[in-house]
Amino acid sequence: MSSIPRPEYPRMQFRREDSWLNLNGEWRCRFDFGKTGVERSWQEKTDAYDRTILVPFCPESTLSGIGYTDFIESIFYARRFTIPAEWAGKTVLLHFGAVDYAATVWIDGREAGRHQGGSASFTFDITAFARPGVEQTVVVHALDELRSGCQGGGKQSYGPYSAGCHYTRVTGIWQTVWLEAVDPAALASCRITPGADAGVFALEPRFRLDRRGFTFTAILSAEGRELTRVTVPAATGVPVTVPVPSPRLWCPSDPFLYDFVFEVRNENGGLIDRVESYAGLRKVHIEGNMVYLNNEPVFQRLVLDQGFYPDGIWTAPSDAALKRDIELSLEAGFNGARLHQKVFEERYFYWADKLGYLTWGEYPSWGLDWHLPEARYRYLEEWLEVISRDVNHPSIVAWSPLNESAHPSPETLAIAYPDQATLERYRTFVRNIYDRTKCFDPTRPVNDSSGYIHAKTDLWTVHPYRATAAELKAALRPADSEVMTHAPKHECAYTGQPYIVDEWGGFKFIPESHRKTAQAGWGYHGLDLKTPEELCAKIEEQVDVMIADPGIAGYCYTQLTDVEQEENGVYCYDRTPKVPGGDLKRIFGKKPAWDKTK
């Protein structure tokens, strides 16, 4: 077993596993409460760092070895590393899975790069600073001003303690840090768009440098057998079509994945780069009020997954834990998840692809003050980075860029949108988000704002938390409207989009085994169910309301696990079950009335 935490290769759709170096493990760090570290040249004076931290776990987590949970707006990290001598002459890349929020990196005291955004992965070319075979020092400064209104924090708490549906904060490095050596003209990325109807994959390669006479080869395989090989001149952005003989489509019941190898050769035919990848051949589209997967209507039985862990906060303690969360969801009868107010790490989507698990990609939009131009700019910049990183994953079937952008109470709406001009600025911004998302990825539906105020959307999503089935039914089909609307005077008109109940439930139940250790937590509706049977009955009566309605295209139950004081998961925070095996699967596995398949 590796002594390095999270030792697995982090990027399974773009693999060069013979030329990488994992930098997870012990780093030195120093809190910078006065935010004066740069002025004091801490990027050079690393001997003064007074703590040890285990990367990639944030300092708020127990797995980091620190567990400090008050605000840390500024922190410095440092570690020594040695680039392998055989990397001499190569381009050396320094990759970060994610750093919350703004990162500045120095190599031996010289600035190597800056990145802004707490959820997107990023890379710096440090070739100019690299000294293969010689010990060097990397310093990372993370600035995390969560309460500024200019950065998305998702469900991180904006007060000193966790409260309501806000939880322990995440500061600094929270995903794998690693080095990679590549040829100067290596492949930089390759977008893979499945064409299920045509039986093809459309590739869009991008190269670090364009060179005359270089070629790009895509080799498609299935189950170890080569199917197709296509070679073209290496040219950034020029599409490449790869035919798929006897296509086998990716779906939850058969999550079949094709393997790709991408090769770049120079003008003499010499191999300068080799990247391994994979892809799923599948199609997602909308017809009328239904979502279709591979030209068949699909009822999405999703669960809200916030991706928090008791010991790692936003960072899973292991790769196995990422996989296990998906397995737990499947065992409870769900066929996918709305990944809520967090950008999950790439390894999660790898397991979702492998296991046939439908997901919605979401940005941690809570905390952004939409009235601030800087907030809007930062959001759009990072959201497109997130889509760019994850666009190749077949398991992602929708994008959900915003969540509950303003609570639809008259008091809150009056503050958020005091006049028509302010409301229209918000609508214009959301339409812009929708248009940019669709421009970048026209192959998936976009849920502009999950619940509350829609401005331009492919999916009509609502959050009807109701205590009883009768109340839920009345909310979903109001007498004065075709569908539920949270703020009729503020949102766009419903025009027949798929109608999805993408938050509901939230019923609190604490098993006897956890009642002594449970926090003074909460669930929706003020209910405090006492037995697994009561929980199942409450869930089932509301599932039955939704699957009996032919106009409802799916739902998302709140939620997969308890998170700190929010105790409404179908599993406890430590992932132990609340309900005997099979009971939930029978309920959540129910098909809608229109589905006549066996």
Contact 122, 155 (CB under 8 A): no
Considering the entire predicted model, what is its pTM?
Answer: 0.97
The stretch 396-420 carries a mean pLDDT of 90
Quickly count: other Cβ atoms within 10 Å of residue 17's Cβ. 9
Q: What is the pLDDT of residues 261-288, one digit of tens each?
A: 999 999 999 999 999 999 999 999 999 9
What is the CB-side half-sphere exposure of residue 168 using CA atoms within 13 A?
A: 20
Q: What is the pLDDT of residues 124-159, one digit of tens each?
A: 999 999 999 999 999 999 999 999 999 999 999 999
Instruction: Write out the H or E segment, with its range, that includes residue 231.
Output: strand 225-233
In the chain, ranges of CATH 3.20.20.80 domains = 299-588
Instruction: Write out the H or E segment, with its range, that includes residue 265.
Output: strand 258-265
Q: How far apart are CA 76 and CA 142, in angstroms?
A: 6
Predicted local confidence at residue 406, as pLDDT: 79
Confidence of residue 384 (pLDDT cuts 50, 70, 90): very high
Contact 460, 499 (CB under 8 A): yes
Q: Which amino acid is at 302?
A: L
The stretch 553-562 carries a mean pLDDT of 97
Predicted local confidence at residue 2, as pLDDT: 62
The stretch 419-431 carries a mean pLDDT of 92
Contact 223, 257 (CB under 8 A): no
Predicted local confidence at residue 520, as pLDDT: 67
Confidence of residue 411 (pLDDT cuts 50, 70, 90): confident
Predicted local confidence at residue 598, as pLDDT: 65
Q: What is the pLDDT of residues 295-347, one digit of tens each?
A: 999 999 999 999 999 999 999 999 999 999 999 999 999 999 999 999 999 99
Strand residue runs (E) in 388-511: 396-400, 402-403, 449-450, 460-462, 499-505
Predicted local confidence at residue 285, as pLDDT: 98
Predicted local confidence at residue 576, as pLDDT: 96
Q: Is the pLDDT of residue 568 over 90?
A: yes
Predicted local confidence at residue 516, as pLDDT: 63
Q: Which fold has domain 299-588?
A: TIM Barrel (3.20.20)
Confidence of residue 410 (pLDDT cuts 50, 70, 90): confident
In the chain, ranges of CATH 2.60.120.260 domains = 20-182
* Better-scored residue on pLDDT, 303 or 517: 303
* Better-scored residue on pLDDT, 322 or 422: 322
Among residues 144, 104, 20, the alpha carbon closest in space to that of 4 is found at 20
Task: Give 130's DSSP letter.
Answer: -
Backbone angles phi, psi at 22, to 5 degrees: -80, 125
The stretch 175-181 carries a mean pLDDT of 98
Q: What is the pLDDT of residues 89-123, one digit of tens each?
A: 999 999 999 999 999 999 999 999 999 999 999 99
Among residues 361, 434, 437, the alpha carbon closest in space to that of 398 is found at 361
In the chain, ranges of CATH 2.60.40.10 domains = 187-279
| Two structure tokens written together for 239 | 């599409």
Burial 398-428 (b: 16+ CB within 10 A, else e): bbbbbbbbbebeeeebeebbeeeeebeebbe
What's the chain's average pLDDT? 95
Contact 119, 363 (CB under 8 A): yes
**What's the CATH superfamily of 187-279?**
Immunoglobulins (2.60.40.10)
Predicted local confidence at residue 526, as pLDDT: 83
Range scoring the smallest mean pLDDT among 52-56, 68-72, 402-406, 514-518: 514-518
Q: How far apart are CA 260 and CA 10, in angstroms?
A: 17
Q: What is the pLDDT of residues 447-470, one digit of tens each?
A: 999 988 999 999 999 999 999 999
* CATH code at 20-182: 2.60.120.260
Confidence of residue 67 (pLDDT cuts 50, 70, 90): very high
Torsion angle, alpha carbons of 279, 244, 213, 183, to 10: 20
The stretch 38-53 carries a mean pLDDT of 95
Quickly count: other Cβ atoms within 10 Å of residue 131's Cβ. 14
The stretch 249-253 carries a mean pLDDT of 98
266 exposure class (CB count in 10 Å sphere: 0-12, 13-18, 19+): middle
132 exposure class (CB count in 10 Å sphere: 0-12, 13-18, 19+): middle
The stretch 238-252 carries a mean pLDDT of 98
Q: Is the pLDDT of residue 475 over 90?
A: yes
